[in-house]
Structure 1
């Protein structure tokens, strides 16, 4: 295969042109490297390198203007806006920047397509006057301001362009317009220069005039790269522009149209592969490359063309280790660099100038990979210590002074991250730059490992220096939010450039970087609607019909551009892999691209389709089976001596593995900050508040006066216990306030229930509150003692009948404290755990001779207070209404059998800890 560039050079050589004196103008800088390479391959003797420039560089030279970055243009436009707008009507820079970006794009389009400015701005103003939404004769202030904007557009443009021209600077469109103005003088001055334009497709009006002017003055040759299949098909978008140029340019009425080739009809192996998600595509690209290199080791024939920029890092990480040479043509936007997330977090934390920081923001910053290592000390890491302190003390909002109290050895770092920016962009930029230098010093210790991180830091340092320079020069950034807006703009436009072998090895590029270049094997990713082609995106103030009227490009032309690039890649290729995302993303890309469907319909090539999905092994979830080794048995003996609580035994009934982790291995639950008051905290507050109320009444008869006094103290008591249990977590607003009010309501309702009972003539004597009970149990088959311990919430005497009461803050129904078969107590946690617990309390109190049987035992559920005291009951059968609710010696003897059986099971070395399947 002879590439397009080499074909052009060979023809120029045949025309006996002195190649050293030819000025080559290409669509991109990248193509210039390949042109030099091909030029060297056809020469027999050395020559001086010809001038090779991109079209943008050529036009800039022709115009005599310097191209300004978009961010600088934004500040210059705001400068113009302020001069032309009354001070009372001026928008802040933050607000202005949101619509000014679109305005700059429109100015750019108007100038590149040489639209008469007066005509289009007056036309736009007239349209808005006609179509404004108010039918009233007297316009409202809102409508007046809206129309005023359109009237001022012409003034903004005139003053802005005049300002730029005076300083010999401009945006791309203005540079193109000035280049057209200067074309005639350029032709007169350089009437012996030969210009060669090659590989162009879509040309704006300015480019078209410049090229045609040079062609008609016999100072240029132009070579198109278009296939016969596209240019001869009046409906094929790949030939949309070249058909127009061929038919509309005067030059081609008397001169040949170079070139129309017929490479597209050559046999090709085309594979259309659907893969879920971006990472799936990246991994499969690595697999394709690995397979290809086993057949042919010439990597320079292979190009990976990425439809989406963010795919670059995943692809680089998926390249096989055997690939030693590669060249990345496309830059990686800084917004996709891992370090960008750190500064994004910093801006989010500081933009509202908080006095205290939300704990998740603190943990997010301190745990960031770029920051964490800066808190290293000789013995530990201060970042870890701070996070653990926040979790342990339940700190939801923390000030910088509180952070400094936690860690006194990292004061400088805490200042760099959390010291207030005072809503001053200058302070913010200084802090960010200082933080970058801190990270650099840390990475300098081992440059070989952190070379990429150091490159990231350098690029971000450059970015913040740009922002500092702009802020110092223009002083328009008056808030952190305004700074963040410009920072994001720069972040998306600035790129991290990669170095590699330009002509050797695997080539990785974006779609636009592929212009003019040819490869035998092409791998194209993200061929989805909304990406390739990009679809009907239109950020412009100029309505669609106005664009059509003035021959400005619309989405139709944009689609035709991408269609050309896509098909041009296929023209000379032999092997094509088209990858698309099978998971439709409405915000990015949709279904597979129409390009794939078009290839199928054309029928010129046999496209092989397949859908790939990750290999997901069918891993059977095996329930854990823990053998009771001698060390486990020793731990069980230690636990038996310390004592089993009713809740630990019911935990074993629920799932022996949970019991094993918690009681044998001593693994505690991860301690998280309780941002919203949890159910167990609510339960503890209710228990502790009732304990404080009722404990002084032990041995006394409860009276209505007691209860009235309790009611007056509820808020104070609940507040005390919330502050104690919830540490520094706030409960004065939001969801926590609701939970705080619920706790008061539960206690108030309970006291009302007690008061109503007393008013009905019942007598309640408080015997004990939160009484600690523990007993030793002797089991014949075990040669070590067993302790059972627990805390009984309340024991009282109700009309002469002793009651053992357990409080539950959740909802419990009567059927949850009733049993039919004693064996069920130790097998079904959901139904009988409540019964097991209250029987444990009654059993311990009997063994300690603290109660006289028969008694009643049961639960008071705060979510079911209408149910009253829910008594334990033994029924003959499941459907029976008859139940025995008095607990006698016989009842507790029957329970004792099940209790000992459960403890024997726990202690038996022959019975493993077997996990239960809780999903059923």
Structure 2
């Protein structure tokens, strides 16, 4: 009886079937989804949300927090699609799930067991047996196997369609490799994640906790995906959200058909499609780099029109432009989703040059090109070996090699020219020579890189957070690499070959950099744009081959066979790319497109051709005028390479100072924020400090860095004045800080409690670092905690008051250091150098005040430190020039201070307006646009 009831219950659920919801391109699908959930009062505890990208999850959480307006909110169970499929399925046997590189290794062994001639299979990419040559080919082969597994295509079907064709033999080889690969999986007890997903063996223990599943932004699904969702739907109702216009894409129609639904079954979240007026600009450029000026101008124009930074997307079909963009748009204003290339980091460059040096060695001699390249490496030039710098030795050795015109440089003269560097090279060569397994190699490289960091400590070369991020990512990947030989396959025979293998693995990897994913300008690949909508869309490199992009999936099967067996063809992939492009276009207010006119770059994209054709169909529009306008890209090149960068502040309006302004100025107490405001924009200074207009207050749904900063300052001041913190353990210090801090959160806006748990965990890092600092002898001076200072200086026969509040002064013996807590954006070394880019006067300003009040010596100041309370929770030293020569640096600062104050008090210097990338973050931007033009 019970069994019958269960069967009937499941049958009723299955009859209900999946629900398909849709939002038009003109609406933001994530916002529509949030509104849907709020309206229907969805219980998130029992709901699964699936998204096509990790970024979609983050944006959804942000919109949910903003739109729900609840004081506290439990975030739903959110998964990126591949995460969900692994969570919801079980393997038929217990085993370790392999990652892509481990799968590649096992596939290499499977190929080794197949005796047929493989060269025809890989066409131009000849298979040579070496793992290094195999890895790129192996990835393509894995992608092919993944595709046929997920589309539920068996090799019998491929053999039938390939009968009597040129690829008939290839299919038999492919089948033999795959059969051997599956044998190795079972023999070794490993699980292939794609096979596991396709088997659709449901994890019932996981599913029983939920009563609904929502797939937000489904675009294209394989046959196994739809089958898996249908099985899930028998236990947990499945709801799929499309982002589409009224004419469905082919991919959406396939999903409907496989789910047994029709277009009439779609439930629209919006009653009608709203077509937004769109600004469209298209330009052609002679080379890739010249597109950057166009991108910068597009960003600037969008911000001037009132578009927020997070509403601007720079979509890169070709990621090679990202470094150039970072050179012209301040990094603080960007969120770079694809990260930075490891191969461009200093550590990778050093390892690569070191490998080339040793690989080219013969008979105790170095090849001259490799050796000179090694000597020019910035890390090598800044090494401090055996307690002394080697830069002068390197210069002498370089001159000798060039003068003697040697092809191979023997060791003997180098023992006189660069004895310490030669000993370093030969010692490391000896260590590498003793390595015969991956475990020892990983330990060696980890020790080697940490030693290298010590050799460079005085130069600060690796202290930039980009280089720290790169080093941390390299060490993380090194640990991952250490697990590979557990599969039982030998990768290399000696240390030098392992180093070559490791460099090859790193060459196409990227490392993330800290950024604000929600607030900054978004720089991403086109696949990352799924589920996201932007007011401004900027796409460079709109050439055929880049957009739509070429696919490698036709390497093993031709289009005709793919079509007959039901595999996606190149036409299907182009249609999918067209969907991504149209969705971005139709959801935007402003669209900027450009392409490169070079023979090796191909013709402009078909998507541009369609837009041009659409434009010339309008009455009165001439094709010559359209093409002439597109060809005007040279004007942007001139702006890019002119003396003033496009992103530098440009004066465009000003107000003359009057006597009333000057009288008010003499009543002010000048702090570092006022000086920073003036050098950034005199007009901002005028509005805030002369007219006394307060910045408009904004109510935030989440805890902001400013909120955290206020709480941290109050908490640490209270704790350090009432407890002997230097006698506490790290856990004890953390508990005291946290318990004290909780009393300060009453002052925050409702709904900001969501991120408190994250903050609590981060404070553990702070407590540990503080205890380490106390152990090394640095102790906070209680007198100087949150220390308020005022001093007067004479400026052209008149007294000017300077004031400030120092966060903290630490002492160790006779030495002292100033510390400032930073919970927001961290300072760069460039901003801390006294030059035209100087934007960080705070700590030198405080040191100058301390000298005026207490006659503290500049020489005894160990550091001007920034306590990073956002990312690393370490004390950073961006004032590198101060470290090198405190007296000279402070003399330059004093001159800068007096010169800046003179400009502020000079009647001949008007209140200039300056437009820059920082204007979008200025609280007076609306007022600035209205007053004074």
How does the TM-score come out when normalised to structure 1?
0.57
1:441 aligns with 2:476: no
Q: Which residue of 1 aligns with 2:464?
A: 450
Query: Aligned partners of 1:261 and 1:305: how far apart in 2?
Result: 30
Q: Which residue of 1 aligns with 2:573?
A: 558
Deviation digits for residues 41-78 of structure 1 (CA, Å, limit 9, x no counterpart)? 23253442110111101101122366533221122223
Q: Which residue of 2 aligns with 1:9?
A: 34
1:315 aligns with 2:325: yes
**Unaligned ranges ≥5, structure 1:** 133-146, 232-238, 620-920
Three-state SS of the structure 1 residue aligned to 2:538 is strand
CA contact (8 A) 1:404 1:414 kept: no
Q: Which residue of 1 aligns with 2:279?
A: 269
* Pair 290,578 (structure 1): closer, same or farther in 2 beyond 3 Å: same
CA contact (8 A) 1:353 1:421 kept: no
Deviation digits for residues 643-694 of structure 1 (CA, Å, limit 9, x no counterpart)? xxxxxxxxxxxxxxxxxxxxxxxxxxxxxxxxxxxxxxxxxxxxxxxxxxxx
Q: Which residue of 2 aligns with 1:71?
A: 101
1:174 aligns with 2:195: yes
Task: After TM superposition, give the deviation of residue 573 of structure 1 in Å.
Answer: 0.8
Task: After TM superposition, give the deviation of residue 35 of structure 1 in Å.
Answer: 0.8
Query: Aligned partners of 1:292 and 1:409: how far apart in 2?
Result: 56
1:158 aligns with 2:179: yes
Query: Aligned partners of 2:179 and 2:579: how far apart in 1?
Result: 36
Query: Aligned partners of 2:411 and 2:356: how far apart in 1?
Result: 16
Q: Which residue of 1 aligns with 2:58?
A: 33
CA contact (8 A) 1:76 1:160 kept: yes
Task: After TM superposition, give the deviation of residue 340 of structure 1 in Å.
Answer: 3.5
Query: Aligned partners of 2:556 and 2:479: how far apart in 1?
Result: 32
Alignment of 1:747-896 (within 5 A): none
* Pair 113,332 (structure 1): closer, same or farther in 2 beyond 3 Å: farther
* Pair 578,338 (structure 1): closer, same or farther in 2 beyond 3 Å: farther
Alignment of 1:109-188 (within 5 A): 109-120=147-158, 122-123=159-160, 151=172, 153-164=174-185, 169-178=190-199, 180=200, 182-183=201-202, 186=204
Q: Which residue of 1 aligns with 2:342?
A: 334
**Unaligned ranges ≥5, structure 2:** 1-25, 118-126, 643-933
1:55 aligns with 2:81: yes
CA contact (8 A) 1:332 1:497 kept: yes
Deviation digits for residues 578-608 of structure 1 (CA, Å, limit 9, x no counterpart)? 1222334x3xx42221111112223499987
Q: Which residue of 1 aligns with 2:768?
A: none
* Pair 546,251 (structure 1): closer, same or farther in 2 beyond 3 Å: same
CA contact (8 A) 1:374 1:413 kept: no
Which one has the largest radius of gyration? 1
Q: Which residue of 1 aligns with 2:584?
A: 569
Task: After TM superposition, give the deviation of residue 397 of structure 1 in Å.
Answer: 0.7
1:354 aligns with 2:362: yes
Q: Which residue of 1 aligns with 2:533?
A: 518
* Pair 188,485 (structure 1): closer, same or farther in 2 beyond 3 Å: closer
1:367 aligns with 2:382: no
Three-state SS of the structure 2 residue aligned to 1:278 is coil
Q: Which residue of 1 aligns with 2:596?
A: 581
Query: Aligned partners of 1:187 and 1:393: how far apart in 2?
Result: 75
CA contact (8 A) 1:263 1:571 kept: no
Query: Aligned partners of 1:117 and 1:360: how far apart in 2?
Result: 51
Query: Aligned partners of 2:116 and 2:278: how far apart in 1?
Result: 64
Query: Aligned partners of 2:76 and 2:242: how far apart in 1?
Result: 20
Query: Aligned partners of 2:182 and 2:138: how far apart in 1?
Result: 15
CA contact (8 A) 1:93 1:482 kept: no
Matched positions, count: 586
| Candidates 512, 536, 559, aligned match of 1:544 | 559
How does the TM-score come out when normalised to structure 2?
0.56
Q: Which residue of 1 aligns with 2:922?
A: none
CA contact (8 A) 2:162 2:561 kept: no
| Candidates 255, 268, 286, aligned match of 2:296 | 286
* Pair 218,475 (structure 1): closer, same or farther in 2 beyond 3 Å: closer
Alignment of 1:363-402 (within 5 A): 363-374=372-383, 377=388, 380-402=391-413
* Pair 86,5 (structure 1): closer, same or farther in 2 beyond 3 Å: closer
* Pair 262,521 (structure 1): closer, same or farther in 2 beyond 3 Å: farther
Task: After TM superposition, give the deviation of residue 519 of structure 1 in Å.
Answer: 1.1
How well do the aligned residues superpose, as a CA RMSD in angstroms?
3.9
Q: Which residue of 2 aligns with 1:203?
A: 221
Three-state SS of the structure 2 residue aligned to 1:203 is coil
CA contact (8 A) 2:282 2:593 kept: yes
Q: Which residue of 1 aligns with 2:906?
A: none
CA contact (8 A) 1:13 1:19 kept: no
Task: After TM superposition, give the deviation of residue 222 of structure 1 in Å.
Answer: 0.9
Q: Which residue of 2 aligns with 1:615?
A: 638
Three-state SS of the structure 1 residue aligned to 2:241 is strand
* Pair 469,173 (structure 1): closer, same or farther in 2 beyond 3 Å: closer
* Pair 421,214 (structure 1): closer, same or farther in 2 beyond 3 Å: closer
* Pair 131,170 (structure 1): closer, same or farther in 2 beyond 3 Å: closer
Task: After TM superposition, give the deviation of residue 351 of structure 1 in Å.
Answer: 3.9
Q: Which residue of 2 aligns with 1:475?
A: 490
* Pair 616,451 (structure 1): closer, same or farther in 2 beyond 3 Å: closer
Q: Which residue of 2 aligns with 1:752?
A: none
Task: After TM superposition, give the deviation of residue 36 of structure 1 in Å.
Answer: 1.0
1:223 aligns with 2:241: yes
Q: Which residue of 2 aligns with 1:530?
A: 545
CA contact (8 A) 1:523 1:576 kept: yes
CA contact (8 A) 1:227 1:261 kept: no
Q: Which moved more, 1:524-533 or 1:371-380?
A: 371-380
Task: After TM superposition, give the deviation of residue 94 of structure 1 in Å.
Answer: 4.7
* Pair 618,251 (structure 1): closer, same or farther in 2 beyond 3 Å: closer
Q: Which residue of 1 aligns with 2:23?
A: none
Three-state SS of the structure 1 residue aligned to 2:518 is coil
